[in-house]
Amino acid sequence: KFAVRAKTDEEAKRVLGTWKLVVTRSGTTVTIRADGERVDAGSGGVTLKLAPAIEFDVVVPAAVAARAKSSSGEVSATGAFSSAVLTTSFGKVSVTGTRGDVDARTSSGGVEVADVTGSRVDAQSSFGAVRLSKVTAARVVAKSSSGEVTCEDGGPGEYELTTSFGGVRLRGGKGSARAQSNSGRVVVADFDGKVVAHSDFGGVEVAGVLTVADATSNSGAVVVEARAGSKAESRWTVTSSFGGVTLRTPDDFACELTIGTDFGSLVADHPGLARGPDKGAKEMRAKVGAGGEQVVVHSNSGAARFERSGR
């Protein structure tokens, strides 16, 4: 569908008369593009270049690879494509149902990817939110320069979620996860495996059956809830420069614990400890259970707590 806004019907017809859809085929690849030139129009000494707004739907058989690009406008792919590569400079990008790799990008607008199974999913926006749901891929990348980044109900894989300005939330999944915000809250919930979570300005929360936890904030509280089945397979770090820190682990958790605070209270109350910290102490080193890997819990300015997890 072609549509143009013009001062007169004649002016609109002149613009529309210069544009058409061109379909070309090379082997198994079919390319559809809008072809035409902008038309001079205007009055009162002001000249404008007019071009139509173009909207079209393409219906193809299943298992086709989808490639779509727009300079200005929404782009979407719905169905069991074998892969999908969608880009636009200004507008929303959405992909649903692809059964293969996905690359979805926009310079200005939101990105949504849902119900996708493939080896790699890459979703990025320069200015806009990035939202993923029910995505299963060996590698999942979701990035925004300015906007919230979320991923829910994912499968096993390697996750990387980052934003410069906005919150980051990952719920579900297992494997390894890296979640980071320069300015915003970071939450990783119900994730099993290795987690690296960081915020320059904002709180950090991590919960799941964890093998590695590296949860840090330059300015905000940090809470890690390691649920039943969690084990320290390598060094854990739970730290904040300005904010309280809390690590909760199951009763059978084992590690070499270092817990401390520069300005704040110190609490270490866990079944795996032979005793708690001395009154007024700012640092405590102790074996938890049978010992093992190093676990560091530290706040520069706030309370530091090591406790048993709720489940």
Output the six-digit token pair for 125: 């926006």
Task: Output the pLDDT for position 33.
Answer: 72
Choose among 240, 257, 261: nearest CA to 249: 257
Output the six-digit token pair for 121: 């999913």
CB 103 within 8 A of CB 85: yes
How many CB atoms are closer than 10 A to CB 181? 27
| Pairwise CA distance, residues 101 & 253, whole Å | 39
CB 217 within 8 A of CB 198: yes
**Please, which pLDDT band fits residue 26 given cuts at 50, 70 and 90?**
confident
Q: What percent of the chain has pLDDT over 90?
A: 74
Reduced to 3 states (helix: H, G, I; strand: E, B; else coil), residue 10 is helix
Helix (H) or strand (E) holding 112: strand 111-125
pTM over 0.75: yes
Q: Which amino acid is at 188?
A: V
pLDDT, tens digit (0-9, with 9 covering 90-100), for 79-100: 999 999 999 999 999 999 999 9
Choose among 195, 230, 191, 196: nearest CA to 208: 191
Statement: residue 160 has pLDDT above 80: yes
Q: Is 182 exposed, middle or buried (0-12, 13-18, 19+ CB in 10 A)?
A: middle
pLDDT, tens digit (0-9, with 9 covering 90-100), for 41-57: 665 555 666 555 556 56
Tell me the average pLDDT across 252-266: 97
